[in-house]
Structure 1
Amino acid sequence: MDAWGRRSFLRAGGLAAAGVLITASGAPSGDGAAFAGMFAGHLAALRRRWREVTAGSGFDPAAEPYRTRLAALGTTAARYRDTAAPAAGRLWPDEPFPSFVATPARLLTMARAYALPGTGLTGDAGLAAAVSGGIDHYRRRVYAEGAPETGNWWHWQIGVPKKLLDAAVLIEPHLPDGVSRALAGAVDHFVPERHLHTYSGTSTGANRVDLCVVMLLRAMLRSDPGKAAVAVSALSPVFPYAEEGDGFHRDGTFIQHSFVPYQGAYGVSLLSGLATLFAVLRGSPWEITDPARQVIFDSVGKSFAPIVHDGFCLDMVRGRGIGRRSYGDHDRGREIAAAVLLLGESASGGERARWQAMVKGWATRDTTVPMLPAAERSDLAFHARLAAIMDDDAVPAAGEPPGHRLMAAGARAVHRGPGWCAGLSMASSRIGHYEHGNGENLRGWHTGSGMLYWWAEGHGDQYSDAFWPTVDPYRLPGTTVSTRRLPDGAGAAWGDTRTPARWVGGATDGRYACVGQHLYGLESTLEAYKSWFFLDDAVVCLGAGITARDGVPVETIVDNRRTDAGLTVDGREVLAPPPADGRKPASAFGGPWRTPASDDRPTGGEDRGAAGTSSAGRSAAMAEAGWAHLTGHGGYVLPGGARLHLLRERRADATGRVARGYVTLWLDHGPDPASAGYAYLLLPGATAVQTRARSADPDWLRISVNTADQQGIRVPSLGITAVNFWQGGATEGLTASGPCAVLVREDATGAATVTVADPRCGLDELTVTWDRRVAGVVHGHPLLAGAQTGRKLVLTFTGLADQAGASHTVTVRTTAPAGARS
Structure 2
Amino acid sequence: MRMPHSGSTGPRRRTILAASAAASALVPLAAGGTAWGAAPDADPYDTLLARAAAQLTGGACDAADPDFAAALKVLDTQASGWWKDLDRSAGRTALWADLSPAKDPGNFGQSYTRLRTIATAWATPGTSLSGSAEAADALLDALRFLHADAYNPSRPESGNWWFWEIGAPRALMDTCVLLREKIAAADLAKYVSAVAKFCPDPDRRTNAPTLSETGANRADKAVIVALRGLLARDAATLALARDGLSDVRDKGRNSLFTYVTSGDGFYEDGSFVQHGSVAYTGTYGSVLLGSAGQLIALLADSEWAVTDPKTSVLYEAVDRTFSPVVFDGLMMDALRGRAISREKAPDHKDGAVTLTNILQLADGAPAAYAERWRALAKGWIRRNTSHPYLGLVGVPALARAKAVLDDDAVPATDRLTGHFAFADMDRVVHRRPGWALTLSLSSKRIAAYEAGNGENLHGWYTGDGMAYLYDGDDLGQFGDGFWATVDPYRLPGTTVDTRTRADIGSGGGTGTYRPKNAVAGGAALDDRFGAAAMELLADGSTLRAKKAWFFLDNAVLALGADITASDGRSIETVVENRNLYEDGAPRLTVDGRRQPTRTGWSAPLPGARWAHLDGTGGYVFPDDPAQSSSGRGGARLHALRDERTGAWQDINTGADTGGSTTLVTRRYLTLWLDHGVSPAASSYAYVLLPGASAAATAVWSHSRPVRVLANTATAQAVEARRHGLVAAHFWQPGNAAGLTASGPCTVLVRRGSDGVSLAVADPGRTGTSVTVELPFAVRKVVRADDTVTVTPGRRPVVTVRVDGSRGHTHTAHLR
- Matching residue's letter, 2:359: L
| Residue 523 in structure 1 maps to residue 540 in structure 2 | yes
Match of 1:675 among 673, 678, 681: 681
Instruction: Give the alignment partner of residue 608 of structure 2, picking from 607, 621, 625.
Output: 625
- CA-to-partner distance for each residue in 1:479-503, whole Å, 9 max, x for gaps? 0011121111079974531111111
Matches within 5 A, 1:638-787: 638-640=621-623, 641-654=634-647, 655=661, 657-698=663-704, 700-747=705-752, 749-784=753-788, 786-787=789-790
Alignment of 1:180 onto 2:180:
no
1:215-614 correspondence runs (5 A): 215-236=225-246, 237-325=255-343, 328-375=346-393, 379-489=394-504, 494-509=510-525, 510-563=527-580, 564-574=585-595, 576-578=596-598, 593=599
Q: Equivalent residues in 2 for 1:4-43 (5 A)?
A: 41-43=43-45
Letter in 2 for 1:794: V
When residues 66 and 728 of structure 1 are mapped into structure 2, their CA distance, relative to the original with a 3 A threshold, is: same
Partner of 1:32: none
TM-score calculated relative to the size of structure 2: 0.86
**SS in structure 1 opposite 2:190?**
helix
Q: Against the structure 1 CA distance between its residues 750 and 791, is the aligned structure 2 distance closer, same or farther, given a 3 Å change threshold?
A: farther
Partner of residue 789, structure 1: 792
Determine whether 1:209 maps to 2:232. Answer: no
Q: Following TM superposition, by how much is the alpha carbon of 1:185 offset from its aligned partner in structure 2, in angstroms?
A: 1.8
Letter in 1 for 2:799: T
Q: Is the 8 A contact 1:736 1:769 kept in 2?
A: yes
Match of 1:104, SS state, is: helix
Tell me the distance in 2 between the aligned counterparts of 1:231 and 1:383: 28
Change (3 A) 1:567 1:201: farther
The alpha carbon displacement at 1:308 in A equals 0.4
Deviation at 1:64, TM superposition (A): 4.2
Q: Identify the residue that residue 658 of structure 2 maps to in structure 1.
A: none
Matched letter for residue 171 of structure 1: L
Q: Which residue of 2 aligns with 1:166?
A: 174
Distance 2:169 2:369 in 1: 33
2:716–2:728 contact (8 Å) kept in structure 1: yes
Instruction: Describe the SS at the equivalent of 1:489.
Output: coil
Return the offset for 1:631: 1.6
Question: What is the distance in 1 between the residues matched to 2:461 and 2:514?
Answer: 12
Instruction: Give, in angstroms, the shift of residue 725 of structure 1.
Output: 1.1
**Matches of 1:75 and 1:362 in 2, distance apart?**
28
1:118–1:418 distance in 2 versus 1, CA, 3 Å: closer
Q: Which amino acid aligns with 1:756?
A: V
**Counterparts of 2:439 and 2:713 in 1: how far apart (Å)?**
21
The alpha carbon displacement at 1:259 in A equals: 1.3
Aligned counterparts of 1:347 and 1:371: Cα–Cα separation in 2: 22
- Displacement of 1:713 after TM fit? 0.8
1:413, CA displacement in angstroms? 0.7
User: Which residue number in structure 1 is paired with residue 120 of structure 2?
Assistant: 112
Match of 1:816 in 2: none
- AA aligned opposite 1:155: F
- The 1:534–1:494 alpha-carbon spacing in structure 2 relative to 1, beyond 3 Å, is farther
User: SS at 1:801's partner residue?
Assistant: coil
Q: Which stretch shows the higher mean deviation, 756-765 or 470-479?
A: 756-765
Distance 2:92 2:212 in 1: 32
Question: Is 530-539 or 547-556 further displaced after alignment?
Answer: 547-556
Instruction: Spell out, residue by residue over 1:151-176, the C-alpha distance to the aligned partner (whole angstroms, 9 max, x if none).
Output: 21111111111111110111111110
2: distance between equivalents of 1:687 and 1:327? 33
CA contact (8 A) 2:362 2:369 kept: yes
**Counterpart residue identity of residue 649, structure 1:** D
Residues 202/367 of structure 1: CA separation in 2 closer, same or farther (3 Å cut): farther
Residue type of the alignment partner of 2:717? G
Secondary structure of the residue aligned to 2:748 is strand
User: Which consecutive residues of structure 2, in runs of 5 or more, have no partner in the other structure?
Assistant: 1-40, 247-254, 624-633, 648-660
Secondary structure of the residue aligned to 2:683 is strand
Matches within 5 A, 1:56-95: 56-57=58-59, 59-61=61-63, 63-67=65-69, 69-70=71-72, 73=75, 77=79, 80-81=82-83, 83-86=86-89, 87-95=91-99
Q: Is the 8 A contact 1:100 1:159 kept in 2?
A: no
Q: Alignment identity in percent?
A: 41
| TM-aligned CA deviation for residue 238 of structure 1 | 2.0
CA contact (8 A) 1:56 1:381 kept: yes
**Higher mean displacement: 358-367 or 187-196:** 187-196
Distance 2:199 2:538 in 1: 40
CA apart distance, 1:805? 1.2
Change (3 A) 1:104 1:696: same
Q: CA deviation at 1:260?
A: 0.8
Q: Distance in 1 between matches of 2:153 and 2:689?
A: 60
Q: Partner of 1:141 in structure 2?
A: 149
Greater mean deviation of Cα atoms: 468-477 or 212-221: 212-221
Tell me the distance in 2 between the aligned counterparts of 1:768 and 1:117: 68
SS at match of 1:562: strand
What is the letter of the counterpart of residue 797 of structure 1? V
Secondary structure, counterpart of 1:174 in structure 2: coil
Check the 8 A contact 1:557/1:666 in 2, yes or no: yes
Query: 1:710-753 CA distances to partner (integer Å, 9 max, x unpaired)?
Result: 11111110111111111122222212222111111122x14111
Q: Which has the larger radius of gyration?
A: 1
What is the CA–CA distance in structure 2 between the aligned matches of 1:559 and 1:735, rounded to whole Å?
Answer: 34
Contact 1:85 1:93 in 2 (8 A): no
RMSD across aligned positions (CA): 2.2
Q: Distance in 1 between matches of 2:110 and 2:427?
A: 35
Aligned to 1:332, the other structure's residue is in SS state helix
Runs of 4+ in 1 over 6 A off after TM superposition: 197-200, 490-493
Partners of 1:77 and 1:718 lie apart in 2 by 58
CA distance in 1, matches of 2:589, 2:77: 55
**Contact preservation (8 Å) 2:610, 2:697:** yes
Partner-residue secondary structure (3-state), 2:680: coil
Decide whether the 8 Å contact of 2:778 with 2:793 is kept in 1: yes
| Distance in 1 (alpha carbons) for counterparts of 2:698 and 2:70 | 54
TM-score (norm 1): 0.85
For the structure 1 residues 235 and 701, does the alpha-carbon distance in structure 2 shift closer, same or farther, using more than 3 Å as the test?
same
Deviation readout 1:276-300 (Å, 9 max, x if unpaired): 1111111111111112221111110
Q: Which runs of 5+ in 1 are unaligned?
A: 1-38, 579-592, 594-616, 814-822
AA aligned to 1:508 is A
Greater CA deviation, 562-571 or 338-347?
Answer: 562-571
User: Match of 2:53?
Assistant: 51
SS in 2 for 1:193: coil
The residue type equivalent to 2:589 in the other structure is T
Secondary structure of 2:467's counterpart equals strand
CA drift at 1:676: 0.9
Retained in 1: the 8 A contact 2:121–2:127? yes
| CA drift at 1:797 | 2.3
Q: Which residue of 1 aligns with 2:23?
A: none
What does residue 26 of structure 1 align with?
none
Q: How many pairs were matched up?
A: 730
Aligned counterparts of 1:516 and 1:632: Cα–Cα separation in 2:
28
- Aligned partner letter, 1:772: F
